[in-house]
Amino acid sequence: MTTLSWAGGMDRSRARRLLQDYGVYAALLLLFVVAVALNGSFIEMSNLRAQLLQVTPVLVVALGMSLVIGTEGIDLSVGAVIALAAAVLPLYLGYGFGASLVVALVVGAVSGALGGAMVAFVRVQPIVATLSLMIGLRGLANIINGSSGKPVTDSTVADLGTGNLAGIPVMTWIAVVCTVLTALVVRRTTFGRQLVAIGDNRQAARLAGLPVRRVLMTVYIVSGVLAALAGVMLVGYSAESDPSTVGLNYELNAITAVVVGGTPLTGGRVRVLGTVAGALLMQLISAVLQQHNIHQSYQQIIEAALICFAVYAAQERGTR
């Protein structure tokens, strides 16, 4: 009897571990099947392409956010960085798309460096440092663009936002490259191991001689660059630059994707593929609710409940 009870406990423990490690993938697959069952047109290429275009900027931002959260940090400034990059990009299109892209990415890197410096050197709490940046950068973007939307008609920008390569949106290819690079950095490089070690125990990492400040600076810079890249994508997708609306709530969407994907807010672990699955799952939930005319307020409630469940699961994982 004792043996059976022990075995049953082990089975439950294993089942819970499998659910925590692979639950997001199972939920994604299950919801996709449900979406197709409820609406056969959901699987049409035009709809799948539209879903990919909508989720790609969030995914790109979430990849950078996963690195920041892996160090036990958080970056609330990414939405404002998106707006700032979107405001800067059109100003330099006269010098060519390449030059304007570089300027936008540099703006993102500098914004990330500011947040990283406050966290790494001044030791401001990440939520405070990036919250102040979020407010300031959004204001700066509005000043640059005159608080109004401006059309962007550059053909290269449009191709980036809505064009296809081998039948797949260009933005999706970029997201795939970013995902692969992020996964390789986390899993195969010394920097990735240092990042995880710092998130797991920052004081121990310092005592072990790890370059804590340099790693923290780097992850916030990467987060800023990826947010700026997402801003360029959104300009291409919408063919306009409106800093008062572009990038709004992207920081929350990115955090949600990361947490739902299994990266704990307490740091010490980065699940890149989980972040991808989390972003796709959130997009799928939004698409299903919209197709059934569920009011946005109820969508937000459902998303909040999902975040709470994901955080609870992450805490359970951390206490095992």
Mean pLDDT, residues 115-139 taken together: 95
What would the mean pLDDT of 51-60 be, rounded to a whole number? 95
pLDDT value at 130 more than 60? yes
Position 226 pLDDT exceeds 50: yes
Q: Which tokens in the block code for residue 119?
A: 């966290």
Q: In this structure, what token pair is assigned to residue 283?
A: 């997009």
- DSSP letter at 241 equals E
> What region does 239 belong to: left with phi over 0, alpha with psi -120 to 50, or beta?
left
> Six-digit token pair at 245?
């609306």
Residue 317, pLDDT above cutoff 80? no
Confidence (pLDDT) at 315: 58
Measured CA to CA, the distance from residue 230 to residue 245 in angstroms comes to 14
Run of H or E including 260:
helix 250-260
Three-class secondary structure of residue 130 per DSSP: helix
In 3D space, the residue among 47, 24, 28, 30 whose CA is nearest the CA of residue 291 turns out to be 47
What mean pLDDT comes out for the span 70-75? Answer: 96
pLDDT digits (tens, 9 = 90+) for 25-40: 988 899 899 899 988 8
Helix (H) or strand (E) holding 151: strand 150-151
What's the mean pLDDT in 141-160? 86
Report the sign of the C-alpha dihedral through residues 264, 265, 271, 275, in that order. Answer: positive
Q: What one-character-per-residue DSSP string does 87-112 give?
A: HHGGGGGGG-HHHHHHHHHHHHHHHH
Confidence band of 12 (pLDDT split at 50, 70, 90): low
- Is the model's pLDDT at 105 over the cut of 90? yes
pLDDT class for 279, splitting at 50, 70, 90?
Answer: very high
Stated as kind and residue range, the H or E segment containing 165 is strand 164-165
Over residues 309-313, mean pLDDT: 70
Q: Are 264 and 314 in contact (CB under 8 A)?
A: yes
The pLDDT of 244-262, averaged and rounded, is 90
Query: What pLDDT, on the 0 to 100 scale, is given for residue 300?
Result: 78
Q: What is the mean pLDDT of residues 151-176?
A: 91
* Of 168 and 15, the one with more pLDDT: 168
User: Which of 39-43, 179-183, 191-195, 297-301 bottoms out in mean pLDDT, i.e. has the lowest?
Assistant: 297-301
Residues belonging to the chain: 320
Q: Which helix (H) or strand (E) covers residue 164, if one does?
A: strand 164-165
- Residue partners of 125: CB distance under 8 A and separation at least 6: 119
**Residue type present at position 286:** S
214-235 average pLDDT score:
97
Residue 293: pLDDT band (50, 70, 90) is confident
Question: Per the structure block, which two tokens stand in for 62?
Answer: 């979430």
Looking at residue 210, its pLDDT comes to 94
Tokens of 27: 């939920």
pLDDT band at 229 (very low <50, low <70, confident <90, very high): very high
How far is Cα 316 from Cα 27, in angstroms, rounded to an integer? 19
Question: Average pLDDT in the 288-301 region?
Answer: 82
Q: What's the one-letter identity of residue 172? A: T
Per-residue pLDDT at 1: 47
Q: What is the pLDDT of residue 305?
A: 81
pTM strictly above 0.75: yes
| Mean pLDDT to the nearest integer, 12-25 | 74
How would residue 9 be classed by pLDDT, with cut points 50, 70 and 90? low
Cα–Cα distance list, 176 to 21, 140, 204, 276 (Å): 22, 31, 34, 10
Residue 243 to residue 96: CA distance in whole angstroms: 21
pLDDT of 2 reads 47
pLDDT for 24? 86
